[in-house]
Amino acid sequence: MYAIAVRRGEGSPTLVEKPRPEPGPGEALVRTLRVGVDGTDHEVIAGSHGGCPEGEDHIVLGHEAVGVVEDPNGTGLSEGDVVVPTVRRRPNGSNGYFDRGEPDMAPAGRYHERGIDGAHGFMAEYFVSPAEHLVRCPAAIAELGFLVEPASITEKAIEHARASRSAFEWTPESAFVLGNGSLGLLTVAMLDDAFDRLYCLGRRDRPDPTIDIVEELDATYVDSRETPVDEVSAVHEPMDFVYEATGYARHAFETIEALAPNGVGALLGVPGDWEFEVDGGTLHREFVLHNKALVGSVNSGVRHFERAVESVAALPEWFTDALVTGVYGLDEFERAFDVDDDTTIKTAVELGSL
Amino acid sequence: MYAIAVRRGEGSPTLVEKPRPEPGPGEALVRTLRVGVDGTDHEVIAGSHGGCPEGEDHIVLGHEAVGVVEDPNGTGLSEGDVVVPTVRRRPNGSNGYFDRGEPDMAPAGRYHERGIDGAHGFMAEYFVSPAEHLVRCPAAIAELGFLVEPASITEKAIEHARASRSAFEWTPESAFVLGNGSLGLLTVAMLDDAFDRLYCLGRRDRPDPTIDIVEELDATYVDSRETPVDEVSAVHEPMDFVYEATGYARHAFETIEALAPNGVGALLGVPGDWEFEVDGGTLHREFVLHNKALVGSVNSGVRHFERAVESVAALPEWFTDALVTGVYGLDEFERAFDVDDDTTIKTAVELGSL
């Protein structure tokens, strides 16, 4: 079968031939339909994040996949089930995080991430996976199934943010999504029903397709060059919920000032080292006197994927049409990794069809 | 009756005579037993925090009180009930935070704080309070009732910290209390049953009574001059829970590095403005990749006082004997405000007895 991999040190994805995998006990064989591309893939390709499986000189890419069960292999799945795989896998034997269905809470060293770190990904014509890590998805949204993994990231962040506010009556009205990349836009669409007023931060000039999407979702576009995150409270309104998806470290701290009393910020970006000055006294005081919270959130588990399936199914068609700017077959897979263009939002590689 | 107040601009507490208050509808008349002194009192005295009730040139001090009901005045209380008053009161008419029993979640401007900001405190021979803001306390711990308010602050912080970790299975083992003042020591004692390993940060040389208390509680004393907060993880162990009670703004940020994966830091200090440099990239990344959280927490509500009554009742006698270093009558009340001495930990003014 064909797969798309990156060889150690090469810096660009390449088509490789590999034997079709055989499912082991408890594993199903899945024929891959589509696999999305995101910023993490680009970091893996660049060699700045993750790494090859032990003893191998390449890693098959892809962690945002949807496929169809080809061989249930005695698991509870059925041939023809459309499934989305979760990303983390047991590294060596088992550990408590996996045993209780919370691999997303495992610390570094206690997991592999398929397509990212220590395990091959899903960007291949077939993959095998333990059935416990496969989440069923209605066939009607099979073509959008590659959006379930990113949506699950947001489901987990929302779950943890809400949990942090569960000790009192929290009735949030305003939400501010930092970042107008594909995850930011997906999140604005997912938050649409839960918040009265939505804002989305970007740093692009009009006309721009991401700004069009923000506004079509009835959200307010906030240009960070005009209104920095720590001024949004004064310029627009204090935010009950902030969702940071920029990976820009200053935003993590400016979020504290953007929050309304009793608000919470979910942090999702993974920046590199960067020292800078903060008004730490003011931030500390704001945290305390207004009962604010920040929660970091990484990865996601089966229950977040299950919720994400529902969220993706509920997305308006115009939105997914606008969000997914390109789906490319194996013959032109390179185009899915091309990000030089401001008209590209979300791409996927198509490896098969229902 | 006598009361201890501070006149605007004077900078030191003084004994004043005031008429005994008359309870209004829904209010009980309480004869005061003891009132504790803490850092907030010193800020109010210095004029750096809070302010006098509207139209008055002085504020009666005291927000850590215990008293005995003298006149229930038709409320559900009984004459002779030992009670502890909560601190926040409706400023003008009502608001939702008070209506639902969460005045501690009210933002600035939506509350007065008795003895601190906009309302007279409890350091008087009698006070009146709506019965809904009086929490019953067993007569057996009446002499320690002034510890219930500070203990309630910790109960709320723990509640919010635990809530932030309620979306997954969190089984914390290690806790690190920043600060060996009276609130820090009280918190170490309160956490004793819930954590396997406790640490407490200070910056004092031995011999020192607070270090003795820390070690008597089987906690490890961490000298911040030898082991800064952001190195405690390497020197001792990563902490599942950090409780910040120093008001030193750098600690709010160093807490992120002190935390174990999936850990939470509760921030309680209220520092002034202070700009400094942080490795914001590393902190942001740590937040995200290890699912960490920070929650700010201020004030407390009736349910936290109720839990605090139980916590204070459970404190070992040797501990409260060591913690409370002085209880002074009205004839020598100034001594309760004297903090020049490293042997002073917690003081109170005694205004009456059972």
Complex ipTM:
0.97
Q: Does B229 touch chain A (CB under 8 A)?
A: no
Best mutation target, B242, B288, B302, to test chain A (most A CBs within 10 A): B288
CA neighbor of A115 nearest in space, from A200, A208, A41: A41
Q: Chain A contacts of B292, Cβ < 8 Å?
A: 295-296
| A130 prior amide bond cis, ω within 30 | no
Q: How many CB pairs under 8 A join A and B?
A: 189
B165-192 pLDDT tens trace:
999 999 999 999 999 999 999 999 999 9
B52-62 pLDDT tens trace:
999 999 999 99
Characterise B246 by phi-psi region: left (phi > 0), alpha (psi -120 to 50), beta (else). Answer: alpha
Q: Chain A contacts of B261, Cβ < 8 Å?
A: 105, 107-108
Yes or no, beta carbons of A294 and B278 under 8 Å apart = no
Q: Does B232 touch chain A (CB under 8 A)?
A: no
Burial (CB < 10 A; 0-12, 13-18, 19+), residue A55, is exposed
Q: Chain A contacts of B273, Cβ < 8 Å?
A: 279, 281-282
Residue span(s) of chain A under CATH 3.90.180.10 come to: 2-136+316-350
Q: Which two tokens stand for residue A123?
A: 């960007």
Yes or no, beta carbons of A262 and B294 under 8 Å apart = no
Rounded to 5°, angle at Cα B10 from B9 and B11: 100
Rounded to 5°, angle at Cα A171 from A167 and A175: 110
What residues contact A175, with CB distance under 8 A and at least 6 apart?
A191, A194, A195, A197, A198, A199, A239, A240, A241, A242, A243
Angle formed by the axes of helices A148-164 and A182-191, nearest 10°: 60
* Cβ atoms of residues A291 and A316 within 8 Å: no
Position A64: which residue type? E
Q: Chain A contacts of B280, Cβ < 8 Å?
A: 249-250, 252-253, 271, 274-276, 278
Residue span(s) of chain B under CATH 3.40.50.720 come to: 154-296
CA neighbor of B48 nearest in space, from B271, B332, B349: B271
The bridge status of strand B118-119 relative to strand B112-114 is parallel
Cα–Cα distance for residue pair A110/A91, rounded to 1 Å = 6
Q: What are the distances in angstroms from CA A211 to CA A150, B26, B221?
A: 20, 56, 54
Position A109: which residue type? G
Residue for token digits 């921030």? Answer: B267
CA neighbor of B259 nearest in space, from B271, B251, B247, B269: B251
Helix, strand, coil fractions of chain B, as percent rounded to 5: 35, 30, 40
Instruction: Using the Cα atoms of residue A98, residue A104, residue A109 and residue A115 in order, give the sign of their dihedral.
Output: positive
pTM above 0.90, yes or no: yes
Cα–Cα distance for residue pair B347/A224, rounded to 1 Å = 51
CA neighbor of B327 nearest in space, from B82, B181, B83, B144: B144
Q: Does B291 touch chain A (CB under 8 A)?
A: yes
Q: Chain A contacts of B275, Cβ < 8 Å?
A: 277-281
What residues contact B31, with CB distance under 8 A and at least 6 apart?
B67, B68, B69, B70, B125, B126, B352
Going by the DSSP 8-state scheme, the letter that residue A143 receives in this structure is: G
Q: Does B254 touch chain A (CB under 8 A)?
A: no
Best mutation target, A284, A295, A299, to test chain B (most B CBs within 10 A): A284
Yes or no, beta carbons of A274 and B291 under 8 Å apart = no
Q: In which residue ranges of chain A is pLDDT below 70?
A: none
Q: Which two tokens stand for residue B274?
A: 């202070």
DSSP string, B280-322: HHHHHHHHHHTT-EEEE-----HHHHHHHHHHHHTS-HHHHHH
> What's the order of all strands across the beta sheet hosting A58-60?
A14-17, A2-7, A58-60
Cα–Cα distance for residue pair B288/B283, rounded to 1 Å = 9
Position A202: which residue type? G
Residue for token digits 């809400």? Answer: A162
Q: In which residue ranges of chain B is pLDDT below 70?
A: none
Within 13 A of A121's CA, how many CA atoms are on the CB side?
A: 30
φ and ψ at A62, to 5 degrees?
Answer: 100, 115
Question: What pLDDT was estimated at residue B88?
Answer: 98
> What's the order of all strands across the beta sheet hosting B58-60?
B14-17, B2-7, B58-60
Going by the DSSP 8-state scheme, the letter that residue A233 receives in this structure is: H
Best mutation target, A285, A292, A297, to test chain B (most B CBs within 10 A): A285
* Maximum CA extent, chain A: 60
Q: Does B43 touch chain A (CB under 8 A)?
A: no
Query: Out of B105, B284, B296, whose CB is closest to A269?
Result: B284
Question: B259 in helix, strand or coil?
Answer: strand
Yes or no, beta carbons of B267 and A284 under 8 Å apart = yes
CA neighbor of A201 nearest in space, from A152, A256, A245: A245
CA neighbor of B200 nearest in space, from B172, B260, B150, B241: B241
> Which homologous superfamily is B154-296 in?
NAD(P)-binding Rossmann-like Domain (3.40.50.720)
Position A271: which residue type? P
Question: What pLDDT was estimated at residue B234?
Answer: 98
Q: Chain A contacts of B253, Cβ < 8 Å?
A: 278, 280
Q: Chain B contacts of A167, Cβ < 8 Å?
A: 159-160, 162-163
DSSP string, B137-148: --GGGGGGGGGH
Return the residue of B nearest to A99 by Cα: B169
Cα–Cα distance for residue pair A345/A210, rounded to 1 Å = 8
Best mutation target, A168, A248, A256, to test chain B (most B CBs within 10 A): A168
The bridge status of strand A27-37 relative to strand A126-130 is antiparallel
* Cβ atoms of residues A28 and A73 within 8 Å: yes
CATH number for the domain whose boundaries are B2-136+316-350: 3.90.180.10
Q: Does B253 touch chain A (CB under 8 A)?
A: yes
Q: Chain A contacts of B173, Cβ < 8 Å?
A: none
Q: Which residue(s) pair with B39 in the sheet?
A: none
Cα–Cα distance for residue pair A233/B305, rounded to 1 Å = 33
Position A7: which residue type? R
What residues contact B84, with CB distance under 8 A and at least 6 apart?
B65, B66, B67, B134, B135, B137, B145, B148, B149, B305, B309
Characterise B62 by phi-psi region: left (phi > 0), alpha (psi -120 to 50), beta (else). Answer: left
Distance of CA B52 to the CA centre of its chain: 21
CA neighbor of A41 nearest in space, from A324, A349, A337: A337
What residues contact A93, with CB distance under 8 A and at least 6 apart?
none
